[in-house]
Chains A and B, each alone.
Chain A
Amino acid sequence: MRIVVATLAIAAAFAMPALAADQVEKAPPTGAYKKVSDLVKLPDFLPGLGQLYVDPKTLPAGPFLAYNRDGRLVSTVYMLPVEDLTNKDKRFDDLAAPGGKVNHVDVYFNAGHPGVEKPHAHVVLWHVPRADETRVAAK
Chain B
Amino acid sequence: MVSRRYILRIGGGLLAGLLLPRLPLAAEAVEIRMQGNADGSHVWFDPVGLRVETGQTIRWINLDPGNSHTATAYHPKNFERPLRIPGGAEPWDSDYLLPNETFSITLAVEGVYDFYCVPHEHAGMVGRIIVGQPGRFPAADLSVQATGGEPIPEIALRAFPSVDEIMRQGVVRPA
Contacts and interface: CB of A to CB of B under 8 A. Distances in A.
The size bracket of the interface on B is 20 to 34
Contacts of A71: none
A41 B67 CA distance: 9
A23 to B, nearest CB: 27
Contacts, number: 63
A3 B36 CA distance: 63
Contacts of B68: 40-43, 113-114
20 contacts: A41-B95, A42-B67, A42-B96, A43-B66, A43-B68, A46-B66, A46-B67, A108-B41, A111-B40, A111-B123, A111-B125, A112-B123, A113-B68, A113-B119, A114-B68, A117-B119, A118-B122, A119-B122, A119-B123, A138-B66
A138 B39 CA distance: 10
Contacts of A138: 38, 65-66
Interface string A6-50: 000000000000000000000000000000000011110011110
Nearest 3 Cβ contacts at the A-B interface: A111-B123, A41-B96, A117-B119
B118 interface: yes
Contact of B118 (A43, A109, A117): A117
B120 A111 contact: yes
A114 B120 CA distance: 9
Interface in B36-66: 36, 38-43, 65-66
B10 to A, nearest CB: 47
A41 B36 CA distance: 16
Which of A40, A41, A109, A122 has the most chain B CB atoms closer than 10 A to its own CB? A41
A48 B119 contact: no
Contact of B41 (A42, A47, A109): A109
A96 to B, nearest CB: 23
B86 interface: no
A138 to B, nearest CB: 6
A36 to B, nearest CB: 11
B119 A112 contact: yes
Interface of B: 36, 38-43, 65-68, 95-96, 98-99, 118-120, 122-123, 125
Contacts of A122: 40
Interface string A99-139: 00000000011111110011100100000000000000010
Q: Which of B38, B66, B98 neighbours the largest number of chain A CB atoms within 10 Å of its CB?
A: B66
Contacts of A117: 118-120, 122
A47 B38 contact: yes
Interface string A79-103: 0000000000000000000000000
Given A43-B98, A113-B67, A117-B122, 18 more contacts: A41-B95, A41-B98, A43-B68, A43-B99, A46-B67, A47-B66, A48-B40, A48-B66, A49-B66, A109-B41, A111-B42, A111-B123, A111-B125, A112-B43, A112-B119, A113-B40, A119-B122, A119-B123
